[in-house]
Amino acid sequence: MTIVFLALLQTAQEPSLLDKPQFVESKFEAAVDSGAHATAGSAGRMILAPLGVLQLPASRPSASGNREARAAHERALVLEAENNPIEAAKFFARAVQLDPSPAHLLDASVHLLSHGAAASAAKMLAEGLRLHPKDANLHLALGVAEFGLGQYERARETFVAAMPDPRSYEALALVIEAAPSLAGPLIQRLGGSPYHQALAILRGAGAGQPGAEGLLQKAIQQDPAFDKPHFELALLYVAQQRTMEAIGEFEATLRLNPDHEQAHFRLAQLQQRAGRKADAETHFAAYRRLHAKRLESEEAERKGRIVLMQTPQP
Amino acid sequence: MSGSLFVITSLIWAQDFAMRPFPARLTDVAQQVGLTAPVIYGPERRKDYILETTGSGVAFFDYNNDGWLDILLLSGTRFGENLPAEAVTNRLYRNLRDGTFADVTKASGLVRTGWASSVTIADVDNDGDEDVFITYWGQNVLYRNSGHGTFADVTRQAGLQHPGRRWGAGATFLDYDRDGHLDLFVANYLDFDPAKIAKPGQAAGCAWKGIPVNCGPRGLPKAVPVLYRNDGRGHFKDVSVESGITRAGPVYGMTAAGADFDSDGWVDLYLASDSAPSLLFINQRDGTFTERGLEHGVAVSEAGTEQGGMGIAVGDFNRDGLLDLLKTNFWDDTPNLYRNLGAGQFTDDALRAGLGVETRFICWGAGMPDLDNDGWPDIFIASGSVFPEVEERLPAYPFLSPRLLFRGVGDGRFERVRQQGGPALAAVHSSRGAAFGDFDNDGDLDILIMNMNQTPSLLRNDLQAGASWLGVRLEGRQSNRSAIGATVTATFGGKPLAQAVMAQSSFYSVNDRRLHFGLGSAKTADIEIRWPGGRVEEVRNLRAGQQYIIREGEGIRR
């Protein structure tokens, strides 16, 4: 079967400039390059990091038996690494045309999603799932695409179809956060760990929902070495203006994960406002150190990409 | 963060207010009132250098003291084109008091070509008229207002000549040492030399999502800001080192805003920075500043990441009597809406306030004007791309984009206004500077906007009668004559609303120095003035629907 690949990176089905904005305008955290201007990454601010959350296994070598398809896929990966997403998309599409394997479909669609072409990705994935109806990765990627198009109810069902894959709980939490009205019926269907249930409740009903706090505490009891429930609990307490408890949970997060940059930053801010200036300075310093290290690493990676771009390809 | 409760609450609010008409209607009347010359800033559909992208500011000010706002528009130029001076000069338009303007650039002595960036305006010599300082890529310029409709370039006499070629960016007059003489803060964007800079796509920082674009700011050298102290005799001295300004190190500085953010009676400085932490210089009351942006919560995003800071608005969006900050940012980001918690500590309320619904545009000039006079500040933002090359391949990132208006619906929340706000909101441009003021003296705020390589926009606000308003213009005596740095708090309807008198905000621009308070249904207001020299005065029972001039120590003059 041949997948008809729609115009690459086309926006025919994306909202027009003056449409009522939906979350689709936000770019995903995995976008390859935001250029030389810094942004906060609206994905994080807009709770739209499904690709980052799901960590779909994109950009892996092709194991296709079709030599031409394998070559197209490899070329696409090179072009992607060279920060040339438009040409890369063409080769990803070619690989899918020649061999619509789950790996090719996933890489091609994740690439499209990474660059905001959610409508194209959704079409490709819907067709791909007819061939591979039990592939959890393809379900998750389709859910991401639907989420990106603002089709929250459809995304909810797609993510449910990917259960019991643990990533589906994270994804569902995002759906509920974007569309709280979907929370009620969904939470009843959720299994999974207390942590994931808490996330779903938090995203769906907000920090005022008492169930989330209990579930996060249960998650901490079940796995005392897991830092994420502490961090979520701290954010919950911040939203409820329970400053001292928030400070305690950020401190617990950092005991388990001393390099948690955001925990240092948020803890420092709370301590500053609470008048604990010496403690705040310690955590601001840690944040500055970790942040600088991360920037250095990102800069090295960015320069590396440019070197790759300037190196003649065979 | 868990913001769903806010989402639900916002939906309820939105439903309520969707039923309510928005009575302010904005119409672009620039062409019909005589603002017919385009503002040239680099090529139209290609940008080889970052210098061609950042654009310039605008100003509403009353240069001839006739009580009507005049207009100053800054201009850039183009490399490699020998354009006549009249095509690429800054322009001064005199308000003819009948709703139209006359170009008086030549007669006023303000003809100048070059890459102008920002403007700051105040009565720097305390002689009763407004002087003008303009930053350039090259040499910044101080113009002294003669009081007779002309300006003289006094840069050299004032000691403001600097060695080498700098890219002057945001700048603001302020009286940081409370001696009654306005000092001058000047940010620099970056070290720019077209002979040394790579072309689009040819080096790190010269591509955006794989599409070759002009290089920078990352990858280009940052620059340090400068603070000049006014000696009161018409001369400025560079005090950047002894005042502590240079200790913050270099940044990609953009708009600067001076106001008393920590309510201690001394003016502080906030500098929006592109792709670097924004800086908050807290006045130490001894002639020095300490940079505390991170500690006060206004340097980076809520998650601790740098943003592409461009413009700044200062206002009191939640009406608690404290000055809040709005900072506009680059693509794929929301503005920051920093709520002042007291003592200059801030928290970012952008998502909780409802500003998170829009991230598609690069945002520049901004303000918190109360356009419908309902007593709650609204938020207006001008937008526009810096990469004309991108939209052909990625239409989701258009070069021209609309204006954003969010109405304040009370308690610190906002909702987006679209068609209800008039046809000027949907019009697409690549805009930069924006200024807010009542150019036709009809009791509502209008908006002036710089559009790259197009004529400017003058959005006339045709507000249906109903809500009342109050105008306040301050005249300093011990304080600087323009009262730059003053905070005025009007109390009406049982709640305070604070505003600051500033010499720059928005993006590189200057607003009407008369403070405008929408009063809603209130008929009177009490005001408290915190003068920049430290004096605190109260004036009670000011009647709505009037402009007041209040002189320091003497009360209402008119």
Q: Quickly list DSSP for B159-205.
A: T---SS-EEEEEEEEE-TT-SSS-EEEEEE-B---TTTSPPTTSSTT
Mutate to test the interface with B, among A37, A112, A267, A310 (most CBs of B within 10 A): A37
pLDDT on residue B93: 98
Of A120, A126, A129, residue with least CA distance to A90: A120
**Structure tokens of B492?**
């009406």
Q: State whether A45 and B396 contact (CB < 8 Å).
A: no
CA A221 to CA A239: how far, in whole Å?
23
Lowest mean pLDDT among A7-16, A138-147, A221-230, B167-176: A7-16
The pLDDT confidence band at residue A311, using thresholds 50, 70 and 90, is very low
Lowest mean pLDDT among A86-90, A262-266, B308-312: A86-90
Type of residue at B23: P
pLDDT on residue B149: 97
Residue A308: is its pLDDT beyond 90? no
Residue B404: which H helix or E strand, with range? strand B404-410
pLDDT on residue A39: 54
pLDDT on residue A178: 61
pLDDT on residue B210: 67
pLDDT tens by residue, A170-215: 777 777 666 666 666 566 666 567 787 777 677 655 555 667 888 8
Return the residue of A nearest to B331 by Cα.
A39
**Mean pLDDT across chain B:** 93
pLDDT on residue A57: 58
Contacts of B492 (CB under 8 A, 6+ apart): B375, B517, B519, B520, B522, B524, B525, B526
DSSP annotation string for B431-491: EEEEEEE-TT-SSS-EEEEEEBTS--EEEEE-PPS-SEEEEEEEE-SSS-TT-TT-EEEEE
Burial bucket for residue A91 (CB in 10 Å: 0-12, 13-18, 19+): buried
pLDDT on residue A3: 31
CA B539 to CA B499: how far, in whole Å?
15
pLDDT on residue B411: 83
The pLDDT confidence band at residue A15, using thresholds 50, 70 and 90, is very low
Angle B468-B471-B476 from CA coordinates, rounded to 5°? 160
Q: State whether B274 and A38 contact (CB < 8 Å).
A: yes
CB A83 within 8 A of CB A33: yes
Residue A214: which H helix or E strand, with range? helix A210-222
B501–chain A nearest CA distance, Å: 27
Residue B499: which H helix or E strand, with range? strand B495-500
Of B302, B306, B315, residue with least CA distance to B278: B306
pLDDT on residue B50: 96
Does B78 reach chain A within 8 Å, measured CB to CB?
no
- Judging contacts by C-beta atoms under 8 Å, the chain B residues touching residue A272 are 295-297, 345
Please tell me which of the candidates A25, A40, A299 has its beta carbon nearest to residue B360.
Answer: A25
* Mean pLDDT to the nearest integer, B8-18: 37
Q: State whether A40 and B333 contact (CB < 8 Å).
A: yes
Residue B16: is its pLDDT beyond 50? no
More confident site: B321 or A89? B321
Cα four-point dihedral sign A283, A245, B280, B176: negative
Give me the residues of A, 259-288, that contact B with CB < 8 A: 261-262, 265-266, 268-269, 272-273, 280, 284, 287-288
CA B456 to chain centre: 16
CB B162 within 8 A of CB B171: no
- Judging contacts by C-beta atoms under 8 Å, the chain B residues touching residue A269 are 297, 347
Cα four-point dihedral sign A233, A236, A238, A243: negative
- Above pLDDT 70, what percent of chain A? 65
Does B14 reach chain A within 8 Å, measured CB to CB?
no
Partner residues linked to B517 by β-bridges: B470
Please tell me which of the candidates A47, A83, A208 has its beta carbon nearest to residue B207.
Answer: A83
Residue A278: is its pLDDT beyond 60? yes
**Mean pLDDT across chain A:** 73
pLDDT on residue A157: 85
CA A301 to CA A310: how far, in whole Å?
14
pLDDT on residue A305: 45
Residue B73: is its pLDDT beyond 60? yes
* Mean pLDDT to the nearest integer, A262-282: 94
More confident site: A136 or B406? B406
Partner residues linked to B460 by β-bridges: B27
Q: State whether B332 and A86 contact (CB < 8 Å).
A: no
The pLDDT confidence band at residue A303, using thresholds 50, 70 and 90, is low
pLDDT on residue A196: 73
B482–chain A nearest CA distance, Å: 34
Does A39 reach chain B within 8 Å, measured CB to CB?
yes
**Structure tokens of A13?**
């089905």
Mutate to test the interface with A, among B222, B306, B331, B333 (most CBs of A within 10 A): B333
* Mean pLDDT to the nearest integer, A239-263: 94
More confident site: B367 or A203? B367
- Judging contacts by C-beta atoms under 8 Å, the chain B residues touching residue A228 are none
Of B287, B232, B281, B233, residue with least CA distance to B261: B281
pLDDT on residue B555: 94
CA B427 to CA B173: how far, in whole Å?
33
Give me the residues of B, 197-216, that contact A with CB < 8 A: 203-211, 213, 215-216
Please tell me which of the candidates A9, A32, A303 has its beta carbon nearest to residue B394.
Answer: A9
More confident site: A183 or A78? A78
Q: State whether A37 and B331 contact (CB < 8 Å).
A: yes
More confident site: B7 or B517? B517
Q: Are strands B468-475 and B546-551 parallel, antiparallel or unpaired?
A: parallel
pLDDT on residue B495: 97
CA B344 to CA B260: how far, in whole Å?
9
Residue A61: is its pLDDT beyond 80? no
Return the residue of A nearest to B208 by Cα.
A35
pLDDT tens by residue, B83-108: 999 999 999 999 999 999 999 999 99
For chain B, the straight-line distance linking the first and the last C-alpha, in angstroms and rounded, comes to 50
* Mean pLDDT to the nearest integer, B293-320: 94
**Structure tokens of A77?**
């990966």
B338–chain A nearest CA distance, Å: 14
CA B362 to CA B25: how far, in whole Å?
24
- Judging contacts by C-beta atoms under 8 Å, the chain B residues touching residue A36 are 204-206, 208, 215-219, 275
pLDDT tens by residue, B425-464: 999 999 999 999 999 999 999 999 999 999 999 999 999 8
A181: which DSSP letter? G
- Judging contacts by C-beta atoms under 8 Å, the chain A residues touching residue B296 are 272
A200–chain B nearest CA distance, Å: 10
Please tell me which of the candidates B8, B275, B294 has its beta carbon nearest to residue A36.
Answer: B275
Q: State whether B297 and A269 contact (CB < 8 Å).
A: yes
CA B200 to CA B70: how far, in whole Å?
39
Does B8 reach chain A within 8 Å, measured CB to CB?
yes
Return the residue of B nearest to A27 by Cα.
B332
Does B18 reach chain A within 8 Å, measured CB to CB?
no
Give me the residues of A, 203-232, that contact B with CB < 8 A: 203-208, 212
CB B63 within 8 A of CB B130: yes
pLDDT on residue A120: 81
Does B392 reach chain A within 8 Å, measured CB to CB?
no
CB B207 within 8 A of CB A32: no
More confident site: B360 or B473? B473
Residue B255: is its pLDDT beyond 50? yes
* Mean pLDDT to the nearest integer, A139-149: 83
* Mean pLDDT to the nearest integer, A3-14: 30
CB B445 within 8 A of CB B438: yes
Lowest mean pLDDT among A159-163, B215-219, B474-478: A159-163
Please tell me which of the candidates A25, A35, A183 has its beta carbon nearest to residue B213.
Answer: A35
Burial bucket for residue B524 (CB in 10 Å: 0-12, 13-18, 19+): middle
pLDDT tens by residue, B151-176: 999 999 999 999 889 999 999 999 99
pLDDT tens by residue, B218-235: 889 999 999 999 999 999
User: How many CB pairs lie under 8 A apart between chains A and B?
Assistant: 188
pLDDT on residue B15: 39
Residue B142: is its pLDDT beyond 50? yes
| Three-state SS at B537 | strand
CA A118 to CA A28: how far, in whole Å?
10
pLDDT on residue A290: 95
Q: State whether B345 and A38 contact (CB < 8 Å).
A: no
* Mean pLDDT to the nearest integer, B352-378: 92
pLDDT on residue B530: 98
The model's pTM = 0.80
Contacts of A102 (CB under 8 A, 6+ apart): A128, A132, A135, A137, A138
Give me the residues of B, 165-204, that contact A with CB < 8 A: 203-204
Mutate to test the interface with A, among B301, B327, B359 (most CBs of A within 10 A): B359
Label residue A152 left, alpha or beta by phi (over 0 means left) and psi (-120 to 50 means alpha).
alpha
